[in-house]
Structure 1
């Protein structure tokens, strides 16, 4: 194990034999398989319908699903390699960790943009069609990836400063913790993440306050729709809080490690489930299962077309008739 306070590190030697998976690791495999199935099904549903591919909200939703799927797959592979004590080249580990750092911050940033989209939709309805377009959604995703790359660049620069060149030709059990040779590297990474979360928290709070003000002045169906928007923003805030708690987990784990190794391993599994898996299963809950249009099409494909009560074609016909009715009424 490395000593982060003095900057000394030692690499895990190759294991003599591959260790079998324990019960906790098998439980995580089942949870990840379930989450991946739901997420992949939602991604399939998104790409199957043009109505979803031309809607800003669904484009951003699909971006979070893709990022979460990639994040879950990579972290699960690293978990299995760590449990089995299988080493890999350090250069490859650095590339994988850089991808994870990007994906880890991409989801909450996308949720922040989705909260802003809800704010524009409810508080600026006359300009929503002008501001919220598929092209701008794609530009927003590019901006999100650019912001995520800032953290990646900070991590890579700290690695080049901290480690000698011989380190990059060695092998180790890959983990982001193993790349933090000095305490200042961890502090620098935490500082960058806290700036991200401060910015995202302010945007989400601003969106919620503005939507709440408009919802209080509304009535009837408009009020019901705005209350739904408030609940959506609150769920985004909950996911952001869970992601923020993830920053405190290493401090708790380090304190427990000094007391009992078995308790430390149990807490690490608990933190992984609660603060890594749980926030990423809230996205389908918010924009998949709670969205009536998306949920209807999702059920159709989930049941392999056996859900005949409202097929996607019938659903679009109903939406078209509803649109014509609103135009006739001058809405």
Structure 2
């Protein structure tokens, strides 16, 4: 298990390192395929891309897919110790941070949509029209761009000119020059997640009150919406813990290098990949309309493939 082998670059890997790397690649490929399948299903019917909650769902799917792709590029670069120029790392870093915020902010918007649907049903059609939803999606991306703008502005104001010409292994730590930069970045991130957490808790409490007063089919629908809000809250919690991972990993590095690597690997799987995989489970499997369309899409794909094989035969 401890036996090493070398690659062309001269770097040696243990079988354990390769095993962990392969596991990450399998998870990324599997969930990217699931996300792409759901995105295809979303665009297969006009009902989905003109309905607010499905439009938000599609945004989270695309955002999570981008995060999986971009973060996996970083995994590949670090695994093979491939240095890149600083500006290339900035190009990778900007969309990664933006989409890191797009998902939780969209989850918050989805929670508010459920709140309006259950607590303000008479105004739901007016407030959650297709036009308003498109405007909200634009606002979500605008809000998601604010943290990276602040972080990079602080970095560029403090960085020496020589840093821009360096080749380095791309890491988020390279944008932290002084320790206060890290605390400042964390403060901005935590402010966002505090607002989102308060919004989800408020919506949850309001829906609980409506659920207790509802009866019959309304009660069943309300409790289903309540479970969805709870799952959004759990997703948001995972995203929030992800922000604390660098501090946890830094503490582990001072104790033991191998412990640091193990904790970082666990954090990546649990708090980076896992939250990106919950959206397909929450909506793709629990939503009857989407799940029905998904089964039709998969069945059509298998039928087409079978027909193609038979025609060749």
- Alignment TM-score, normalising by the size of structure 1: 0.86
Q: Distance in 1 between matches of 2:98 and 2:253?
A: 28
Match of 1:221 in 2: 217
2:290 paired with 1:294:
yes
Displacement of 1:18 after TM fit? Answer: 5.4
Map 1:69-218; keep pairs closer than 5 Å: 69-218=65-214
Q: Match of 1:326?
A: none
Tell me, yes or no, if the aligned pair for 1:90 and 1:167 is still in contact at 8 Å: yes
Number of equivalent positions: 293
Alignment partner for residue 245 of structure 2, among 240, 244, 249?
Answer: 249
Whether the aligned pair in 2 keeps the contact of 1:19 and 1:85 (CA below 8 Å) is no
Instruction: Give, in whole Å, the separation in 2 of the partners of 1:80 and 1:61.
Output: 28
Q: Any conservation in 2 of the 1:18–1:86 contact (CA below 8 Å)? A: no
Unaligned 5+ residue runs, structure 1? 1-14, 308-331
* Residue 17, structure 1, aligned to residue 13, structure 2: no
Distance 2:291 2:240 in 1: 29
Query: Partners of 2:69 and 2:129 in 1: how far apart?
Result: 31
Distance 2:244 2:62 in 1: 26
Q: Is the 8 A contact 1:39 1:65 kept in 2?
A: yes
Q: TM-score, normalised by structure 2?
A: 0.91
- Tell me the equivalent position of 1:238: 234
Say whether 1:31 aligns with 2:24.
Answer: no
Distance in 1 of aligned mates of 2:243 and 2:73: 21
CA displacement 1:33-69 (0-9 Å, x = unmatched): 1110110000000011111011011111001100110
Cα pair distance change 1:18/1:66, threshold 3 Å = farther
Give the distance between the partners of 1:86 and 1:305, measured in 2 at CA. Answer: 39
Shift in CA distance, 305/85, structure 1 to aligned 2, threshold 3 Å: closer
Structure 1 residues 36, 129: closer, same or farther in 2, change over 3 A?
A: same
Residues 39 and 69 in structure 1, CA contact (< 8 A), matched pair in contact too: yes
RMSD between aligned residues? 1.4
Distance in 2 separating the partners of 1:227 and 1:39: 26
What is the deviation of 1:79? 0.5
Cα deviation, 1:133-163, whole Å, max 9, x if unaligned, reads 1111111111111111110111111211221
Structure 1 residue 302, shift from structure 2 partner: 2.1
What is the CA distance between 1:303 and its match in structure 2? 3.1
**More helix by percentage:** 2
